[in-house]
Structure 1
Amino acid sequence: VLLLDHDGGFWLVHSVPQFPPPDAYSWPQSAHTYGQTLLCVSFPFSQFSKIGKQLTYTYPMVYSYQLEGVFAQEFPDLENVINGHHIGQEPWNSSITLTSRAGAVFQSFAKFCKFGDDLYSGWLAAALGTNLQVQFWQKGTGILPSNCSGTWQVLNVNQIAFPGPASPSFSSTEDHSKWCVSPLGPWTCVGDMNRNQGEEQRGGGTLCAQLPALWKAFQPLVKKWQPCNAGKI
């Protein structure tokens, strides 16, 4: 979700299906049952040309928009996305640095469907130079196991637990959110990609930052994860 004017705007990265609806606010029934993530970041006007470029890789299905006049001229990539246009040649992935209105630095990772690999084990872990614990929707077929075949481990989170003895815990099959953390810090990423075979052939991405407050909000939620079989997969 993007919303902006001449002073800037925000980018809302989330995992909620069919949200927001085009006509009026409502919260989908499935999101009452399953966990979700929403990360909202305010950016200055100048950063939206970079965000538009990233969306040509993720190839979203745009269903509601208003981009006219000077905005269409200023952000041709956003206009391309609205019209269903996307990148047509390699490289099939793109990483850019974004700076929020408050001066926080984010790294956006976006892949096109022809990238043909898992976002996390095929790119993100090496790009960030860290092991990753990945929370994603683990229902369905073709779920990829934890991967320790490279320099950096990518470990599937199996159970989430909020801090405190009486706080709830639940399985990743009950959590539709898509995020990852470096176990020892400082990276946290929130996006829209699962780890399964089908999504190796799908566009998507994640927004990452080295913000201590963000990492402290997410990493303690990791209660259990899937180890690699004999250390290698």
Structure 2
Amino acid sequence: MKYSLLAALIAQGIISFSSAKDLPSQSCKDENGNEVDWFIIYKLPRSTLKSVNPTGGKFAYVDSENSKKTLEYWPISQQDLFKNSNPIAYTLRSLYERTTSEDILYFAYNDEPPKTNEGKWKGKGHSKGVVLFDKTAGFWLLHSVPKFMKGLKSGQYVFPENAKNNGQMFVCFTFRTEQVEKIAELLRTQNAKVYARQLPGWIGGSFEKVTLLASNKFEEKSKTLKTTLATKRGHILRAYAKSASAGEDLFADELFMDLKERIVVQSWMNGNGGKYLSADDVNHVVAMELKSKENKIFPFETTVDHSKWAFTNKSDIFCFASTNRKPSQEKRGGEALCFNNRVVKDLFCSGVKYVSSEAIVTQHADRKRPRCESSRRKA
């Protein structure tokens, strides 16, 4: 049975995850269930786009394959995050099966987890993600969705209803298994809220950091951690983690100071938590306007976008982040993962309609077009 047919049968509910043929290895999966080195999913908000996004499940999709050439428009997927035929469902299939293989290592973490007996998030990092590996390879899926993943080991993929209205983001990277020790140390540094885990026998004594994380033993001495990760196909990522005791703003004190250039930041600025003073080194997204190849325009403001990300002004670096840019978040752990990709950076830059130097945007905010430059060489 070809995979495209298999995917269609799963989508229609004719067969379940548990009866589908096993995939060759654990990795990030694209819209057809094929392995990719990385992907980015930008879920569009439903609140202000009901006419074109009635279910709230519409998303833009970029990965290591479709970004090999310049993208003049945002690739808007025809799939729906609330259906069980999409990259997230394919990637996490092993965890939705009623019986997860005992050879799988996984950690699911979320500062707002699904209903569990793990206790409250107090003191835990403000971050969300899934780490899953077999003996040879696996993936790290980072995201911004509260209460995800629901339906763990239920036999059915579930996307939470609470994520319907606002914009959200998922980023996934495929790694060889030797990278999992670094990932575990990043989670330990930020004191991630791990609510589900499995430690297979092959871990043995070779993965000390993984074993400590599985035992809820977090890093107490290190306030911050900066390291590099190599994807399965050799892309180098910059990874950051900060603990609550660091007392830092992840964007200004970590990303800006390390990347050494102005950054444009999108984060959830609604509600309490205070605000930062204006700063020339960090600009805040006010409004987005994604344009598709079909000449459709998807406009929305940051007030309905729960995603957290940043890009540099001059170089081609894009970062996914887990915290919001508020003073209150200095007291929470968090993480960021950055990589150099001109196509991705240009895509996000072109999608930003307005930025402001004010952290809390009001009707009097100094709105302006982003000053985005590209490091690409002119022919």
Task: State the TM-score, normalizing by the size of structure 1.
Answer: 0.90
Equivalent residues of 2:135, 2:202 under 8 A apart:
no
Bigger shift: residues 45-54 or 161-170: 161-170
2:217 aligned to 69, 77, 85, which one? 85
1:211 partnered with 2:361: no
What is the aligned partner in structure 2 of residue 159 from structure 1? 287
What is the aligned partner in structure 2 of residue 18 from structure 1? 147
CA shift, 1:228, in A, is 5.3
Higher RCO, Cα 8 Å, sep 6+:
1
Could you list the runs of 5+ residues in structure 1 that have no partner in the other structure? Answer: none
What is the aligned partner in structure 1 of residue 299 from structure 2? 169
1:119 aligned to 234, 250, 264, which one? 250
Equivalent residues of 2:288, 2:353 under 8 A apart:
yes
Equivalent residues of 2:273, 2:329 under 8 A apart:
no
Which amino acid in the other structure matches residue 123 of structure 1?
Answer: E
- 2:234 and 2:330 map into 1 onto residues whose CA distance is 33
What is the aligned partner in structure 1 of residue 183 from structure 2? 51
Compare CA radii of gyration and give the structure with the larger one: 2
Which amino acid in the other structure matches residue 322 of structure 2?
Answer: D
Q: Deviations over 1:80-135 (max 9, x none)?
A: 2232221111x400110111011111000100110101111112101011111100
- 1:84 and 1:215 map into 2 onto residues whose CA distance is 36
- 1:37 and 1:178 map into 2 onto residues whose CA distance is 7
Q: Specify the SS of the correspondent of 2:291.
A: coil
Equivalent residues of 2:137, 2:177 under 8 A apart:
yes
What is the aligned partner in structure 1 of residue 319 from structure 2? 189
What is the aligned partner in structure 1 of residue 238 from structure 2? 107
Which amino acid in the other structure matches residue 202 of structure 2?
Answer: V
2:310 aligned to 180, 184, 190, which one? 180
CA shift, 1:146, in A, is 5.9
CA 158–97 in structure 1, closer or farther in 2 if over 3 Å, else same: same
1:67 partnered with 2:199: yes
Higher relative helix content? 1
Once superposed, what is the RMSD of the aligned Cα atoms? 2.0
Q: Specify the SS of the correspondent of 1:73.
A: coil
Which amino acid in the other structure matches residue 40 of structure 1?
Answer: C
- 2:266 and 2:162 map into 1 onto residues whose CA distance is 18
Equivalent residues of 1:138, 1:173 under 8 A apart:
yes
